[in-house]
Amino acid sequence: MTYGEDAPSKRRVVTIPYLKEKKTKGEPITMLTAYDYPMAVIEDDLGIDIILCGDSLGMTVYGYKGTVPVTMEQMLAHSGAVKRGAPHSFVIGDMPFMSYQVSPESTLINAGRLMKESGVDGVKLEGGVEMVDQIRSLYRAGIPVMGHIGLTPQSVSALGGFKAQGRDVAGAMKLISDARALEVAGCFAILLEAIPPEIGKIITERSSIPIIGIGAGVYTDGQVLVVHDALGFFGGHVAKFVKQYANLNQVISDGLKDYITDVTQRTFPAPEHCYGMDSDILEEIKKKL
């Protein structure tokens, strides 16, 4: 099986300085999730700047109701597959629940393991000013870290559900303060999720590092979506901030229906799908039976 045969031959490798350069020039940064090798190859070939192997794989791959059950072992396996498929994109691995909340020391150990064993280019963790010590420890160790504030899925129970954040004065001011604290602590970029565009604009304009939005409006330095959402891989509820660019759920369903029909009607496999055999050899075999 071969992937990426039509990939650009001289695509530049995405680095942190390159991402900062894009912010400075006002060039939008593209970011998508991927959880396996084939999807990573496609995204890398298309020139996606950042690929996030997110703990959202808990829902998209494993069928969990949220991200909390995701383990470090799962993140290691999937992040490694994604990085192998995306040698040019900047690949980020999500730090799973309780791999960084305990202490800066455990954060450093777990982030180091994720970097070393999967080969990702950086890690992402959720939380604002309360995560400053953890981020500083990673920064000092040379581990690139992306912050994540706003709607933080690992804290959805504390937030009271999957709700937009920063829609009142106190909430907005906390987001602005958190973003500044994360930047000072050493984050190379920040992800804003499910906040008003006006607050996304304020944070982006006040930051010297790239700000990526998901449901944070058009004023951020870049955008990210869960690739399964963007491609319509599943039916059911779709978040307000998602735009579906395809309906793979229907495409796959139609294709498999045709497969089932061909099998039940014995039209597959057809002769062109079978291996030939010399008639003399067949006759010799029959004589031996």
Tokens 């305990």, located at residue: 102
Query: Phi and psi at residue 127, in whole multiples of 5°?
Result: 120, 155
Among candidate residues 193, 272, 283, 284, the one labeled active-site is 193
Strand 50-53 to 90-94 pairing: parallel
Q: Among this protein's residues, is 284 annotated catalytic?
A: no
- Identify residue 147 by its one-letter amino acid code: G
Please give the structure tokens belonging to residue 200.
């996304």
Ordered alpha helix ranges (H), 155-247: 156-159, 169-185, 197-206, 227-230
| Cα separations in angstroms, 244 against 11, 19, 41, 239 | 27, 26, 21, 10
CB atoms within 10 A of CB 170: 8
CA distance 191 to 171: 16
Count helices and strands (H / E) in the chain: 12, 8
What do you get for the CA distance between the two ends of the chain, in Å? Answer: 38
**126: helix, strand or coil:** strand
Q: Chain centroid to CA 52: how far? A: 3
| Cα separations in angstroms, 249 against 199, 254, 257, 261 | 34, 9, 12, 18
Catalytic positions: 193
